[in-house]
Amino acid sequence: MWSSRLAVHQLQKFAAAQLTISTMQRAQSTLPRVYVTRSVPPDGLEILRNSGQVQFEMWDSDDPVPREELLKRVKGIDGLLCVLTEKIDAELLDAAGPNLRVVSTMSVGYDHLSLSELKKRGIRVGYTPDVLTDAVAELTVALLLCTSRRLTEATHEAKTGGWGTWRTLWLCGYELANSTVGIMGLGRIGLAIAERLKPFKVKKFIYTDVAPRPELANQIQAEYVSMDEMAKQSDFLVVCCALTPETQGICNKELFSKMKKTSIFINTSRGGVVNQEDLYDALATGQIAAAGLDVTVPEPLPTSHPLFSLKNCVILPHIASASFTTRNAMSSLATNNLLAGLRGNAMEKELKL
């Protein structure tokens, strides 16, 4: 009798457990489906896992998800968390289908998103401005100093036996003190760069933009000038503008031809704003002194590209936001944008289409 009652009790416990599992599975199956296109930094991933709001699948790799695989994985999803290497266009949106309500990109730039297609479908878009401002500004200053003071060349010489006797003009570069710094696109990042450069005793800041921005310019006593004037006056020209149809290839031979032969060109915005063939010619012929790039077209830039053959061109692999603090902040913001959008709430940072 005792064993019989025990067996019944165990069966009841087992049935209850199975019912609980079944209920949880049904509940989970009704949660919005999300696809994450890359292995995101841990802070954002923890928020996603602990939210209890979505069921998600992630391409768990540092390398981009192959396009064909991406098109398969997005079918029927409600939300997409992507990075700047994924092209979110009509083809992908068609593959995802009508359930897709929110796209959240872990980037401040959004030139990889087809905004017209997203708007047409009523899909909300989150992005991650502001949180990477400090990291990008720091890297831009580092790249400017590395380029202007020829640190990459100097390191190579020291490692390969080129460091001989002291020479009067060997590896001489250009100082920031008493210089004119031109900023193309005075937004949050442009302002942060100028604030960091000011202690180097920069003589004058000038800038160009689609229109004067006195509320920002007044903080660094910057003068609004035309593109031509910026090219002519700048000892250091720093590109901080967004990539738009208007800025595509805006840094070209016309601009470089007006710059000083001693000027330094720095780009940490988007590679597409620069005509790289024109930049190569300007550097190779001595039209400008040097260039530092954190962004190129394409990315990665093939090692056979002519720009890599130039000693006066420093190229980094798009690492401006690459600090642990910033990348985790970006992943957290992108995740919170996604979850808020799926709830129908206001996102912390939403791109207005």
Residues annotated catalytic, as ranges: 318
What is the Cα–Cα distance from 229 to 141, expressed in whole angstroms? 23
Q: Residues 6 or more apart from 1 whose CB is under 8 A from it?
A: none
- How far the first Cα of the chain sits from its last, in Å, is 72
The answer to whether 245 and 239 are in contact (CB under 8 A) is no
Q: Write the DSSP string, 5-28.
A: HHHHHHHHHHHHHHHHHHHHHHHH
Q: Are 79 and 341 in contact (CB under 8 A)?
A: yes
Which pair of tokens denotes residue 272?
Answer: 């597409």
Return the half-sphere exposure (C-beta side, CA atoms, 13 A cut-off) of residue 30. 5
Q: Which two tokens stand for residue 280?
A: 């190569």
Secondary structure element (H or E) that encloses residue 330, with its range: helix 324-343
CA 69, CA 37: separation in Å to the nearest integer? 10
259 and 206 in contact (C-beta within 8 Å)?
Answer: no
**Residue written as tokens 């031979």?**
253
DSSP-assigned beta bridge partners for residue 182: 206, 237
CA distances from 336 to 60, 207, 346 (A): 20, 34, 10
Contacts of 43 (CB under 8 A, 6+ apart): 328, 329, 331, 332
